[in-house]
Structure 1
């Protein structure tokens, strides 16, 4: 789902082409996020090619950076990095590329390709000109592909509102929307005569796209579906013409729903560009949403969907005002996850599921914060495992399917001969675990009570290629997590547990780079606590909104001081668990993986809470 948005950069005057640094490292693009204030411009060159190029320059740097990425990664980068962080960008124009020819150069291969292309053009010039005329005629002035959006009749739409499992609050909102559409005359009597434009927001995979189809089917009206990213083709006015074309097609149907999916790029604030046509598509959508052509389009209902809302992304105020109805989707709670799992499993042949050995409450508990789409993926993965192993789907198979879907493939062979590395990984992961249960042990709770409160699922020293890890601690989450200062500090200590265990056994100079991800998470959490929430100050303000180097320096000092305090506390605590960590390490190295039951059984064999506290 590529999102090609016509955002903007500030043009610069280039008399001499600056040096260009070529790269294929996608991480270079993600580094823009913390440095976006330094960004002079960001351009997208050849967005429809197999290898689009991100071209950017920092204000305080003389070089231009060019990052070449596969087209399969391009959509994710736009959505998860640029749009999510409101980083403005534009399509590189011919004038820019002609002044900076080295942007498109791929060393020696590029010149060979250009020569070959020139020869091809020379041989086939007449044929290419004819093809160009045909294509222009087919376009009829509407660039892009969205003019071909087809009308889907209601009897061709699948599913029903009953497929929206649980989510009674969402269903209630949709029922109210349906009643509003069916009883327009009643609302006209209250002087409410504007179109009922509908905005659907919420996490991916929660059913927003399906809901638009369900609504059209229930109201027995046709649907025209298009992607917000598909409106822009790189041609000036392409998005506006595509929108008008869809609107005319919808008006011809009388009553019709136009559904724009992934439309967040159209909601970004206007007026940031230097070109007068930069906001053409958004302005056209605004006029259509406002019912300027209300007489001919009185039966047209606009439904737009976005994974972001105005709380997580800056949106254009005028655009937000156009939507009288806003429905915010959410992730399912535990009871809804249980019901979803039951429905997905019930669709399979009864001979495929071992219902007697299936604890859906447990599976619903460990799958916290998963969307309905991801839950269905887990169930499908469970079927693949069951087919591969010629067994029935039970709790264990679903657990392994959850692990495979969320973590990825695990491998023992990678670390089988690396005993020293496996030992370090085992100590690191056990450090995380003991700092997770440390508060409960210090409360004097029995091992069984500690086990009940612990979110641990398993400790593993198997490698995970997806995240580049040689081991991990798998834990379940919580549906609602309104944390206190004490709980957030405990999270930091748990993250520090791994690096503290390494220092305990290998010394301060023996800490490995494997703690990088933990330290990044700690830094982000402390930044939130100190600078955003002002948790350690009587002045409850958001320091991030204050400008100036002095305030930034003070914020860094506060973060460093609190990090030092919490790490020292973690190191003191972990020293007390040296004996149980060493004992569990040997078993973990032998078995590669320890489940929650196995871990707590071993702790009982050590003498339970009293013995662990004495050691600590």
Structure 2
């Protein structure tokens, strides 16, 4: 019985269709071969013109003649065979009889097999074309006429590169939650004998670049099972029902390869909350989501198929998709801490030869807020910079330059700045640095520069001493003062009427911070402990119909303005009190262009940036000169720049 089942499986509909196609193709080739081989036998004789034939007949050099339709085959007196084609109006028979030459006529006919093939040739050709297109339309290829209904999931195996948990670092908590899934796939009896069931799915939630996709591949690599990957956008098409068909086909493939893992990247493209759009409940995306819900936890169980999905927008997903039984686990994959960053740097630096002065822990300390992708990019940039200057290994200097490039952009030393523009930039940045050093709750100043980078003419970067998890009210107020110090410096130096557009970026940062303090964090006593952010930004969400009165809006704007104005006044007073130090630092920036933490302090005290023995202190912010970049987007958090505005061209 088993042998019979295998026999009928071999001769399934798809296999019969393929076999029939090749049979028809073989018959066509055989027919063409017979036709050409049959006609080729007549080409064994040499061809001559009809006039040569007539001359040979009249001269008596022809012994025998055979007439075969328009062909005339004749043999000369010396035994040579020739062939010629007679014209339509030529009287060959009478010419031969007059010269007493034996004539033999052959009846023109083909073999029965050839006649049969020639009769069926058009029909066989049509059948072959029909079988070919039916094969393409019914699944012979995903790119066929009906191939858009097939799943676009790609199966990755170990030949594509095995990824394990050793290749994933910095997210230990997420790994621990998913290691149990690996154990389920390796030894399901361990849990089933206690009544445990394998999880249906796990949702990986986190910011971009934190390693969600890499973590999913590591699970498949550790378990040694097939790994299907597909993007949520691959399900959605303009034709209704195509996405649902692709979902069904994807799960059919997964069942055939069970146990396996199906990874859906960016699931929010297809799993958004139903009924939130304008298309009603019958559009393509919602039908695709409905089919996905049924396949994940419907009447038919998908044993051995684990669904992993990744998104950075969990808030927009449909509640039915998030319930237990579909995604039993929600795993948060966040940005790594200092220990995690050190491990991630170690993973990415495996194939990079490092110099003896490279300390990955120092680099990790200087990169708070970096994701795994940011750190990978940092290592790659450092390697490129080392290769550019012809080094055999990557040094700490290369990592420093790479961090500056990642954070602030490439240097633009070719930009032509007038002396007045350089001076304004120097006093602007010196104001940020002096106020930042004076206020104890501000992050230590790491670097001040007036070298244009990216879209900024200068920048002051602060380095947090540890990963910042929250902000306090007094810290935010001091941060506002440091942010507004650039404009305060320009006002003191040049007057109210000569303030440039340089503080535009500072004003944007200060406004964002002050609005967060008032609208979200409840740091305004007058506004109170109410979250007005959604109403102020026009969100509907769960607060549909929630609005604020005109008086409340006015109060919010007054509080935002008050916070910013208090910070500006505080910065103004500090710069007046520290006028001498501020002037020294501005002149030092004009002379040296870039100063680091301890160098800034020495210049403010009237000393040269470096001590006589060429060594500098490693204390306080001076340590920051070795460490480095606070965040990938410093304009919002840890740096003060000149607004990112390029100067007007000088006349």
1:377, 1:533 → 2: CA distance?
34
1:163, 1:174 → 2: CA distance?
15
| Residue pair 1:154, 1:216 contacting (<8 A) in 2 also | no
2:145, 2:608 → 1: CA distance?
81
Give 1:238 deviation, angstroms: 2.9
Residue matched to 2:311 = 306
Residue matched to 1:228 = 232
| Residue pair 2:584, 2:604 contacting (<8 A) in 1 also | no
2:592, 2:411 → 1: CA distance?
14
| Residue pair 2:182, 2:223 contacting (<8 A) in 1 also | yes
- 3-state secondary structure, aligned to 1:563: helix
Residue matched to 1:471 = 458
Residue matched to 2:602 = 601
- 3-state secondary structure, aligned to 2:277: coil
| Residue pair 2:168, 2:218 contacting (<8 A) in 1 also | no
Judging changes above 3 Å, is the alpha-carbon distance between structure 1 residues 254 and 606 closer, same or farther for their aligned structure 2 residues? closer
- Listed one character per residue, the Cα deviations across residues 387-426 of structure 1 (whole Å, up to 9, x for unaligned) are 11123422221111111123221112214x4211111111
Give 1:338 deviation, angstroms: 2.3
* Segment of structure 1 superposing worse, 585-594 or 148-157: 148-157
- 3-state secondary structure, aligned to 2:263: strand
- 3-state secondary structure, aligned to 1:459: strand
1:148, 1:205 → 2: CA distance?
24
Residue matched to 1:284 = 291
2:342, 2:278 → 1: CA distance?
52
2:422, 2:240 → 1: CA distance?
57
Residue matched to 2:336 = 332
- 3-state secondary structure, aligned to 2:446: strand
- TM-score if structure 2 supplies the norm length? 0.65
Give 1:537 deviation, angstroms: 2.0
1:199, 1:580 → 2: CA distance?
54
Residue matched to 1:423 = 423
- 3-state secondary structure, aligned to 1:463: coil
1:131-150 paired onto structure 2 within 5 Å: 138-139=143-144, 141=146, 143=148, 147-150=151-154
2:388, 2:467 → 1: CA distance?
33
Q: Kindly indicate whether residue 512 of structure 2 is the aligned counterpart of residue 508 of structure 1.
A: no
Give 1:187 deviation, angstroms: 5.1
Query: Which runs of no fewer than 5 residues in structure 1 stay unpaired?
Result: 1-131, 444-452, 609-616
2:267, 2:250 → 1: CA distance?
15
Q: Kindly indicate whether residue 208 of structure 2 is the aligned counterpart of residue 204 of structure 1.
A: yes
Query: Which runs of no fewer than 5 residues in structure 2 stay unpaired?
Result: 1-132, 536-545, 610-651
| Residue pair 1:195, 1:298 contacting (<8 A) in 2 also | no
| Residue pair 2:136, 2:144 contacting (<8 A) in 1 also | yes
| Residue pair 1:200, 1:304 contacting (<8 A) in 2 also | yes
1:152, 1:201 → 2: CA distance?
22
2:223, 2:135 → 1: CA distance?
40
Residue matched to 1:373 = 373
| Residue pair 1:431, 1:581 contacting (<8 A) in 2 also | yes
- 3-state secondary structure, aligned to 2:208: coil
- Listed one character per residue, the Cα deviations across residues 28-63 of structure 1 (whole Å, up to 9, x for unaligned) are xxxxxxxxxxxxxxxxxxxxxxxxxxxxxxxxxxxx
Give 1:493 deviation, angstroms: 1.1
* Segment of structure 1 superposing worse, 473-482 or 406-415: 473-482
1:454, 1:605 → 2: CA distance?
23
Question: How many residues are paired up?
Answer: 453
| Residue pair 2:236, 2:270 contacting (<8 A) in 1 also | no
Give 1:139 deviation, angstroms: 4.5
1:113-124 paired onto structure 2 within 5 Å: none
Residue matched to 2:173 = 169
1:345, 1:186 → 2: CA distance?
38
Provide runs of 4+ in structure 1 moved above 6 Å. Answer: 132-137
- Listed one character per residue, the Cα deviations across residues 119-153 of structure 1 (whole Å, up to 9, x for unaligned) are xxxxxxxxxxxxx9999785454538x72433223
Residue matched to 1:530 = 518
Give 1:198 deviation, angstroms: 0.9
CA RMSD of aligned residues (A): 2.8
2:378, 2:409 → 1: CA distance?
12
2:296, 2:502 → 1: CA distance?
52
2:136, 2:602 → 1: CA distance?
71
Judging changes above 3 Å, is the alpha-carbon distance between structure 1 residues 361 and 594 closer, same or farther for their aligned structure 2 residues? same
Residue matched to 1:547 = 547
- 3-state secondary structure, aligned to 1:245: helix
Residue matched to 1:91 = none
Counterpart among 220, 228, 237 of residue 216 in structure 1: 220
1:33-52 paired onto structure 2 within 5 Å: none
- 3-state secondary structure, aligned to 1:269: coil
| Residue pair 1:181, 1:196 contacting (<8 A) in 2 also | no
1:89-128 paired onto structure 2 within 5 Å: none
- Listed one character per residue, the Cα deviations across residues 238-283 of structure 1 (whole Å, up to 9, x for unaligned) are 3222222211111121322111112222342111234321412222
- 3-state secondary structure, aligned to 2:365: helix
2:437, 2:450 → 1: CA distance?
20
Residue matched to 1:362 = 362
2:299, 2:400 → 1: CA distance?
54
2:241, 2:498 → 1: CA distance?
60
2:203, 2:599 → 1: CA distance?
48
Residue matched to 1:459 = 448
- Listed one character per residue, the Cα deviations across residues 580-607 of structure 1 (whole Å, up to 9, x for unaligned) are 2222212211222112232122234369
| Residue pair 2:137, 2:147 contacting (<8 A) in 1 also | no
Judging changes above 3 Å, is the alpha-carbon distance between structure 1 residues 219 and 338 closer, same or farther for their aligned structure 2 residues? closer
Judging changes above 3 Å, is the alpha-carbon distance between structure 1 residues 343 and 271 closer, same or farther for their aligned structure 2 residues? closer
Give 1:171 deviation, angstroms: 2.2
- 3-state secondary structure, aligned to 1:514: coil
1:188-199 paired onto structure 2 within 5 Å: 193=197, 195-199=199-203
| Residue pair 1:194, 1:291 contacting (<8 A) in 2 also | no
- TM-score if structure 1 supplies the norm length? 0.68
Residue matched to 1:266 = 270
- 3-state secondary structure, aligned to 1:410: coil
Give 1:181 deviation, angstroms: 4.1
| Residue pair 2:386, 2:395 contacting (<8 A) in 1 also | no
| Residue pair 2:443, 2:463 contacting (<8 A) in 1 also | no
| Residue pair 2:152, 2:230 contacting (<8 A) in 1 also | no
Residue matched to 2:319 = 317
2:199, 2:361 → 1: CA distance?
44
Give 1:552 deviation, angstroms: 1.9
- 3-state secondary structure, aligned to 2:524: coil
Give 1:430 deviation, angstroms: 1.3
| Residue pair 2:255, 2:305 contacting (<8 A) in 1 also | yes
Residue matched to 1:12 = none
